[in-house]
C-alpha cells in the first residue's frame, strides 16, 4: 500500500534527497566531507536568516533544546517558560533537570501567549535571564508571536529569547537576525524534509555572551566546542555523514526555490486545509494564530479522534492524533516540506470518507471542493 505521510514529523523525504543519502559513506574527517560541510554551513545561515554560525548535532530537536538550556544558564538562574502545549512543557522539564528556576506562564491549549503577560512577568522579576517559547506548538497547531516577543527581550540586555523552531524553520517566516531572536533551535524531520537525526542551534552575539558565563554541565552539547570545530569545517564528534549529504541536497533546493516561494506554498496549503475543515462543519483546535505548517482539528461530537487516525492509516494516510489532554479530542494534518497539493487533496478526501463511516454527517466532496477553490487560484496565479 502506498503511504501518504501527513504527520507533523517525520515528514516525507524527496527521492533526490534519499538518493543523496544513499551515496557511499565518506569519512567525516576527509577533505571531501569538510568541503561539503563548509557549503552546508553557509546554506544553513540562509535558512535561519542569520549571519551567525548554525551548530549541527547528531540528535533530534530535543538535543538542541537541552543544549540551549545547558549552554546559556547556570543553576539557580530563573527562566520564563511559555507553556501552551506538550512541547512547552518540555522547556520546564529541561530547566528543572538542570536546576534552573522556572517562572511558568500557563497558556490554554489552542491559544497563543499574550506578549503583554511576558512584559508583566519580566517587569515583576528582573532576574529572569531567558524566555523559552515554541515558534509553533506542534501539539496544538498554534503559532506563538515570536516577533513581538523578540521586541520585548531585545531591549533587555540581561534576558535572551530562546525559540524552539523545530516545526517552524523552513515552514514560514522566522528571520532570526531581523527579529532579534537570541537562540533558535531546529530539527531535521519537519519542514526541512529530512529523516530525524539532526539538530541545529544558532545563537546571537548577545546569547554567546551568556555562554561565557554559563556553569551548567555539558559535554556532547557543548556549543563553544562545536563552534570551534565547525570553524574548521568539522563537527566536534562523529558527523551524521549520510544525513548531512541529504541536508546539502535539501539546502541546495531551498536556495534554488527561494524562501518566499516555499513560504507562499505552505500558506496556500494551510489555507486550503483550513477551508476544507470548515466546509466539513469541523472546528479548528487553534483559537489564536492557527499554524501554517499543520492544521489541528477538533474531532466532532461522538467521534474519537484516535479512531479517525487509525481508520485513515488503513488507507495508507498517516496523520497525527492529539497528545496528553488533547488525546482523542483532536487530530492533526501536516502541510509542510515535501507535502504537495495532491497529498493534501487525497488526505481531505480520505478524511471525509472516514468521518462518514464513523457516523459524522458530511457531504462527500465538500471539503475537497473548498480546498480546490484555493489551490486552483494558486495554479492560476
Q: Could you read off the pLDDT of 232-264 as tens digits, one per residue? A: 999 999 999 999 999 999 999 999 999 999 999
The pTM of the whole model exceeds 0.95: yes
Cβ 161 vs Cβ 155: under 8 Å: no
Q: What is the DSSP string of 14-70?
A: -HHHHHHHTSPP--TTSHHHHHHHHHHHHHHHHHHT-SS-EEEEES-HHHHHHHHHH
> Could you read off the pLDDT of 25-60 as tens digits, one per residue?
999 999 999 999 999 999 999 999 999 999 999 999
Cβ 98 vs Cβ 46: under 8 Å: no
Number of helical H runs and strand E runs in the chain: 14, 15
* Residue 264 parent element (H or E): helix 259-279
Q: What is the DSSP string of 90-102?
A: HHHHHHHHTT-EE
Cα gap 112→372, rounded to integer Å: 29
> Could you read off the pLDDT of 186-242 as tens digits, one per residue?
999 999 999 999 999 999 999 999 999 999 999 999 999 999 999 999 999 999 999
What is the share, in percent, of the chain residues with pLDDT greater than 70? 99
Cβ 378 vs Cβ 268: under 8 Å: yes
Q: For each of the domains in the chain, give its residue range(s) and CATH number, in order of start.
A: 15-257 (3.40.640.10), 259-380 (3.90.1150.10)
The confidence band for 380, taking pLDDT boundaries of 50, 70 and 90, is very low
Amino acid at each position: 500500500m502506498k503511504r501518504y505521510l501527513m504527520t507533523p514529523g517525520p515528514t516525507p523525504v524527496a527521492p533526490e534527497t534519499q538518493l543523496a543519502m544513499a551515496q557511499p559513506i565518506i569519512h567525516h574527517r576527509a577533505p571531501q566531507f569538510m568541503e561539503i560541510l563548509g557549503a552546508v554551513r553557509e546554506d544553513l545561515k540562509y535558512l535561519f536568516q542569520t549571519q551567525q554560525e548554525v551548530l549541527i548535532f547528531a540528535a533530534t530537536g530535543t538535543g538542541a533544546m537541552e543544549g540551549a538550556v545547558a549552554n546559556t544558564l547556570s543553576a539557580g538562574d530563573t527562566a520564563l517558560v511559555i507553556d501552551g502545549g506538550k512541547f512547552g512543557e518540555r522547556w520546564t522539564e529541561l530547566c528543572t533537570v538542570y536546576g534552573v528556576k522556572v517562572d511558568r506562564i500557563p497558556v490554554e491549549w489552542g491559544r497563543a501567549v499574550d506578549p503583554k503577560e511576558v512584559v508583566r512577568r519580566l517587569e515583576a522579576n528582573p532576574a529572569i535571564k531567558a524566555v523559552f517559547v515554541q515558534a509553533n506548538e506542534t501539539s496544538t497547531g498554534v503559532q506563538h508571536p515570536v516577533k513581538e516577543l523578540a521586541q520585548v527581550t531585545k531591549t533587555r540586555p540581561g534576558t535572551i529569547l530562546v525559540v524552539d523552531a523545530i516545526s517552524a524553520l523552513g515552514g514560514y517566516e522566522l528571520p532570526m537576525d531581523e527579529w532579534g531572536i537570541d537562540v533558535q533551535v531546529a530539527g531535521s524531520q519537519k519542514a526541512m524534509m529530512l529523516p530525524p537525526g539532526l539538530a541545529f542551534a544558532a545563537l546571537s552575539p548577545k546569547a554567546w555572551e551568556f555562554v561565557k558565563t554559563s556553569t551548567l554541565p555539558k559535554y556532547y552539547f557543548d556549543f563553544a566546542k562545536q563552534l570551534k570545530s565547525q570553524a574548521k569545517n568539522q563537527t566536534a564528534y562523529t558527523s551524521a555523514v549520510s544525513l548531512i549529504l541529504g541536508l546539502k541536497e535539501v539546502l541546495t533546493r531551498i536556495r534554488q526555490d527561494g524562501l518566499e516561494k516555499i513560504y507562499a506554498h505552505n500558506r496556500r496549503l494551510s489555507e486550503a486545509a483550513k477551508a476544507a475543515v470548515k466546509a466539513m462543519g469541523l472546528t479548528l483546535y487553534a483559537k489564536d494564530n492557527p499554524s501554517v505548517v499543520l492544521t489541528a482539528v477538533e474531532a466532532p461530537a461522538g467521534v474519537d479522534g484516535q479512531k479517525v487516525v487509525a481508520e485513515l492509516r488503513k488507507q495508507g494516510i498517516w496523520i497525527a492524533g492529539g497528545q496528553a489532554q488533547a488525546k482523542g479530542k483532536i487530530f492533526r494534518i501536516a502541510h509542510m516540506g515535501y507535502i504537495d497539493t495532491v497529498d493534501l487533496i487525497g488526505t481531505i478526501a480520505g478524511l471525509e470518507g472516514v468521518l462518514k463511516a464513523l457516523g459524522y454527517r458530511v457531504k462527500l466532496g465538500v471539503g475537497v471542493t473548498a480546498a480546490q477553490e484555493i489551490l486552483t487560484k494558486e495554479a492560476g496565479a
